[in-house]
Structure 1
Amino acid sequence: MAPTFVAKAYALLDANANRNVIPALEENDRYMDRVVGYYEGWSTRRPCHAFWPEQIPRGVYSHINFAFATIDPNTYKVMPSNHRDVDLYSRLTSLKSYDKDLKVMIAIGGWTFNDPGRTATVFSDIAASEAKQDKFIASLISFMSTHDFDGIDLDWEYPEADDRYGKPEDLKNFPKFMARLRNELKKTPGRSELSITLPASYWYLQHFDLKELSKHVSFFNIMSYDLHGTWDQGNKWTGAFLNAHTNLTEIKSALELLWRNDVKGDQVVMGLAFYGRSYTTQGCVEPGCVYASGGLPGPYSNKAGILLNNEIMDIIHDKKLTPKLYKEATVKVVTWDDQWVSMDDRETLAMKANFARQQCLSGLMVWAVSHDTSTADFSRDLAMVSNRQVLMQRAEIDTDTERTNHKQCRWTNCGDSCPAGWKMIKREDDWKTTNPEYMIDDTHCEGHGSRSWCCPPDTKLPKCGWYNFNEGNCKPGCEDGMVEIGSTTNGCKKEDQHQSACCSVQDDYGNGLSSMAVYNTCEWSKENPQCDDGKCSGSKSTILGQSGQGSGDVYCYAGDVWGGHWPKKQHTSRKYCCNTSSKSNRFENCEWRNDVGLHWADQSCFSGCDSNQVRVAMDGFNEGCYKSGARAYCCDAVSYTETQRMSDDMQDFKDALIDWKMAVACAKNNTSQVST
């Protein structure tokens, strides 16, 4: 990372500055709401100590940030940094299946993103242009939806800093960019988490408008590590002295910079390190002694001046070393031969966690989960000191379960376009008037545009249409192999007639369409206009909901129920009959909504659903919506498949067994050749 120039920061701090920190808590065991862990995409490609997503203990982390994705400097679209990362995305996000509170985020940027090269000014360019922001945000939302990320961690290191290709206008542009990004993320189905990293030094932090940024982000990850390193050598503010890069006395001063800008503690996550900064000494090994150079490269990290915790533990074990505690700095130091490295273990992690509690911070962050030992010892220590419970691991030892979520096609709200990357579906029926003509419906939109029928990206598309119009002599119903997704009386000659919007549920080869799987578990009762006579039977025997206008605009006779609104006599209701026995394929959490979407003055009901829900019915007559909009019946569409694959350990064992068997066979073959 970068030099911190801590001494200059100290000189600029006002010792008497007011702080927004509540007095220290008496107890040191408060549960931490946020424990954030970064996972490096390249960690599986190390020659040893490779760390896979499945090795992360469940329950320790509230957020896992995949580091890093990149941005195309020409199109401003989000892209994987390496094609091998895509498999890791799904393996990481599948951990959510076993930890319902876990959020997995995509981290974009990082230190090298602003190194000389094509991406050096990308963040500045995006922040300065709303047109470029539109491209980036649309691509980001599509990227997160495709790979099931819950939010973004933006690692811009560092705005305005001329040594990191920053521009003077970054200071004012950054908060505006974050405001637009947060606003658009709020429109997504549960992908609105937004965090940014903050430096721990005044040198770089002075270019962050913290007061404005705090209004638009979920939380800040302060990088309270790398406070010292080999870059100190020759620097007039620091110098080549042995100092721990996670020294708590300096972290305290770094946090003062936040309090002086009215940042609240509950919006700050304090950074910890699962690695150490190492040095080659000149004989003296106490803090403050002058070092000669960076430490020798580790065998797996292969970089001078840094050792991963798994490498440090190997050294401690092999050389039978005992780390020394420096209580004031709250670090451990390990020395051998002419080498020196500082680190944190369970004892110092606990001390730092208690300090974070006293400062009323919302939690801890670690760079990086993937520096841990193969048995995740440091993550387990982190769970203990943050009072978070490690969940029971998956029962199976030999296999891993992988879950694939299947998004369902759905109607947009009135006037909305399809989500980024989704496909608007063409009509396939005989009654379309143009080619192509798309599936749209303006029922109950009250002049605010129309709805579009949209299907998720990277799926086989269903065949859809408006069926049985018959030149105005409308007849309800769908063709074989289709399900009803909507209805309208528009164009029908009689008020008790309607035509149906229908979509196929299988492809041309008889394979089920994943994007229509949940719709295929339900059907509308056939009886209308005397809709109360409808019955549910067979496997689809559960009444999921019922509506006086069915799937949209079915005509139902008035019944014998009197309501509190005009018309007093409520309409009979058509039933939506479903099979809800499958946990992996069903509608659930359904509710009537009348408060979502566009509306006009004096309109009593708005007919939209939240962006993470599917609309399966509308009712513009009952419950006070008559001639003034409609209610929408909105459901969560749950659809996923699970597959079993051999665990990494078992796969490694199998591969080793095959190699051993081949080696034995080759040896026998060579022996027989020699003997002849």
Structure 2
Amino acid sequence: MCGKYSKGGNVPCGMNLCCSATGWCGTSELYCVNGDPQGNTLPCQKGFGSCEVKKGRTCGLDSGTTNGRTIGYYQGSNTRDRYCNQMRPQDIDSTGYTHLYYAFSSIDPKSYAVVAVDPADVALYTEFTALRSRGLQTWIAVGGYDFSNEGDTHKTWSKLCANSRNRAVFIRSLQDFMAKYGFQGVDLDWEYPVAPERGGTEQDTENFVLLVKEMRFAFGMDYGISVTLAPDYWYLRYFDAKAMERSVDFFGFMAYDLHGYWDKDVKTLGAIIRGQADIRDIANDVVPLWFAELDPSKINLGIALYGRGYTVNDTSCNTLGCPFKGASKPGACTHTDGILGLAEIEDLVTTKGLTPKYLPDAIMMELTWDDQWIGYDNADTIARKKGWGDSQCFGGTMAWSVDFASGGYHVG
């Protein structure tokens, strides 16, 4: 809660959202103006965030702002984890990309030095950075979702950010790592600060800002810095992105994985089919960025090169809004419940003679067969999402991940 009803009576809303009269953070007039529009007895609490509805900038659908940067993540782990469709760095079709990110490197939980996730990654680093050219930069992404799962590195981000000595050790190690392997920048993928279930502490918000500022001071303009932002406000509220803005080259907004089979355990959602990258959800989730008054030209819109799917309860109801009983069946290559790479989806369309369906309200595709449902983006919906991003003045896109689309799949 926020304002006078919060712990200590002084907690503001993260990302500068409005604090309602009853102590909840939100973005609508009920939070930002008055919760009682007729009697005006429930005004926004001033001093704990905005008390004004904020809207982002507007640019034309054909403004082309998202063409400013086209970033593609590459999962080095695909070379050892995939059953088929493996992609080495030398096999990446970099056409149209301005940046490629190697995902991920890890951090030693004791020394705070940057290290490989797996020894096999080391041999891939220089193969990856050899792709760099005048128009293409190669960066390293540090962390990732699994890094903050329960285990040895569960609290590593919080601990390394907790004091200036640990931050300095990390920064020096990162500089040495990038110089050794030829990386030109770093993407900080902390998922997520403060959240206790992700190993966080209340001090993370301020300490993350300090880390980024100290990195920029140490790097000068020798290396680039980007920060990945959570897509949902539950985690996004703990980022002080505005305080980081001058120190980073840009931010990445993960506009994917918004829904999945895990929804069945969320009381407010339940086991109902929802798209993982429905434009209606994305449009709602980006609003806090405008309350924080972030420059949209420094934000990259996330694009998914994979689909999320479900096994439905009843084959007669197999679309958005229908009940599901579990994740979709694993693909032959990714071999993971609830997910299919674009290469696998395209293969299913061909081998099973399936017809994908476009869902205009969601700006996404759906594919159904037997008791399976997959929602995903193809070249057409990606172009349409980029058009929406252009209307919001986003400065670029970032795709997760190029190895899901073997054979070349261009976002740019």
TM range (shorter): 0.7 to 0.9
Structure 2 length-normalised TM: 0.85
Q: Alpha carbons of 1:74 and 1:30: their partners in 2 closer, same or farther (altered >3 Å)?
A: closer
Q: 2:175 is aligned with what amino acid?
A: I
Which residue of 2 is the match for residue 319 of structure 1?
352
Q: Does the alignment pair 1:42 with 2:68?
A: no
Distance 2:63 2:248 in 1: 28
Name the SS for the 2:146 alignment partner: helix
Question: Counterparts in 2 of 1:507-522, with a 5 A limit?
Answer: none
Question: Which residue of the other structure, out of 309, 320, 323, is the alignment partner of 1:287?
Answer: 320
- 1:322-381 superposed Cα distances (whole Å, 9 cap, x missing partner): 1100111000000000000001011101100101111111111110011012x21x22xx
Distance 2:273 2:374 in 1: 9
Question: Which residue of the other structure, out of 142, 145, 148, is the alignment partner of 2:179?
Answer: 145
Question: Counterparts in 2 of 1:104-503, with a 5 A limit?
Answer: 104-186=138-220, 190-191=222-223, 193-283=224-314, 284-373=317-406, 375-376=407-408, 378-379=409-410, 382-383=411-412
Name the SS for the 1:287 alignment partner: coil
Name the SS for the 1:104 alignment partner: strand
Q: Which moved more, 1:207-216 or 1:276-285?
A: 207-216
Q: Alpha carbons of 1:337 and 1:253: their partners in 2 closer, same or farther (altered >3 Å)?
A: same
Among the aligned pairs, what percent are the same residue?
Answer: 34
Instruction: Work out whether residues 56 and 287 of structure 2, in 8 Å CA contact, stay in contact via their aligned partners in 1.
Output: no
Which residue of 2 is the match for residue 443 of structure 1?
none
Poorly superposed stretches of 4+, deviation over 3 Å: 28-31
The structure with higher relative contact order (CA 8 Å, sep 6+) is 2
- Point out the structure with the larger helix share: 2
Stretches of structure 1 lacking an aligned partner (at least 5 in a row): 1-9, 384-676
Q: 1:317 is aligned with what amino acid?
A: T
- 1:133-190 superposed Cα distances (whole Å, 9 cap, x missing partner): 1111111101100000001101100000011111111111111111101111116xx3
Structure 1 length-normalised TM: 0.53
Number of equivalent positions: 364
Q: Which one has the largest radius of gyration?
A: 1
Distance 1:141 1:79 in 2: 12
Distance 1:186 1:102 in 2: 20
- 1:551-570 superposed Cα distances (whole Å, 9 cap, x missing partner): xxxxxxxxxxxxxxxxxxxx
Stretches of structure 2 lacking an aligned partner (at least 5 in a row): 1-23, 30-51
Q: CA RMSD in A?
A: 1.6
Name the SS for the 1:293 alignment partner: strand
Distance 2:396 2:335 in 1: 31
Q: 1:302 is aligned with what amino acid?
A: H
Instruction: Work out whether residues 139 and 186 of structure 2, in 8 Å CA contact, stay in contact via their aligned partners in 1.
Output: yes
Question: Which residue of the other structure, out of 79, 83, 91, is the alignment partner of 2:127?
Answer: 91
- Point out the structure with the larger strand share: 1
Distance 1:18 1:28 in 2: 22
Distance 1:121 1:218 in 2: 26
Which residue of 2 is the match for residue 13 of structure 1?
27
Distance 1:74 1:286 in 2: 48
Name the SS for the 2:211 alignment partner: helix
Q: Alpha carbons of 1:350 and 1:174: their partners in 2 closer, same or farther (altered >3 Å)?
A: same
Cα shift at 1:73: 1.0
Cα shift at 1:80: 1.1
Which residue of 2 is the match for residue 582 of structure 1?
none
Distance 1:282 1:27 in 2: 41
Cα shift at 1:117: 1.1
Instruction: Work out whether residues 56 and 392 of structure 2, in 8 Å CA contact, stay in contact via their aligned partners in 1.
Output: no
Cα shift at 1:289: 0.8
